Structure 1
């Protein structure tokens, strides 16, 4: 009979990613507080600053979020003046998202503030690149696994 080694929580990559994610969420909660943005709203804004105008469906594809998750998030962004949403004249099921003037004016302030927050962590560009590559490797392996499972 094989001698099975117990699994230790602190050696589990999944747990390390989970706790790092929780810590990042708290970090961003603090960093984004001056702008009254949550982390999910922030990543939506990052996508919109890069690609707007977008439809809700397109934004969801970028963020890997469904419309049920996006709709309340977008309603809050709209009520706070960051975006405007309009139904497409060609297909009323399609909702178009555009940035407001306020969002355009606040973009650089948000970018600068978040960048300065990262300076506090003391992460060098190479540290961030190394972490990003390692996380991308894990994502790619999980995607390949999920693809194989689906076949």
Structure 2
């Protein structure tokens, strides 16, 4: 690839990832709206549904979602106001906050269970295609993080 071609927008990996992420997030919007959720709130719930009934501390949640506390804290406050989660001080460390699901947050799991299949249908992709792309992206992420 020539030097000029290397600087074309369509040849940038970062742009393909960025545009793809935005497009997928747009597909989630109509699926999450009836549940009263934003995409970041949905991601938080996915983590909590995996761990339930066990709570998770904010730091660990941030690491799992690759979000800093400045982004995560307001998000969690809104979720608490919507009675999806409860934030409380850790018994082991007074400085740390633990997050757990409320009954309302737990109940949303049943309603959200159709979202992955509906998203694939909206995108026109198969489960195998999703698994393949996810595998490539995870490998890329691991390489990038190893090089940091």
TM range (shorter): 0.7 to 0.9
Q: Structure 2: which 5+ residue stretches go unaligned?
A: none
SS of corresponding position for 2:98? strand
Larger radius of gyration: 1
Sort the Cα spacing of 1:29 and 1:66 in 2 relative to 1 into closer, same or farther, 3 A. Answer: same
The alignment yields a C-alpha RMSD, in angstroms, of 1.7
- Deviation per residue, 1:20-46 (Å, 9 max, x gap): 011112112222111111111111110
1:92 deviates by 2.3
1:63 deviates by 1.2
1:114 deviates by 4.1
1:122 deviates by 2.2
- Structure 1 CA distance, aligned partners of 2:48 and 2:141? 23
- Structure 1 CA distance, aligned partners of 2:61 and 2:3? 46
SS of corresponding position for 2:121? helix
User: What is the TM-score normalised by the length of structure 1?
Assistant: 0.86
- Deviation per residue, 1:44-66 (Å, 9 max, x gap): 11001111411112211211222
Aligned length: 144
Q: Is the 8 A contact 2:27 2:123 kept in 1?
A: no
User: What is the TM-score normalised by the length of structure 2?
Assistant: 0.87
- Deviation per residue, 1:69-113 (Å, 9 max, x gap): 111000111111110111234432121111011111110211213
Where relative contact order (Cα < 8 A, 6+ residues apart) is larger, the structure is 2
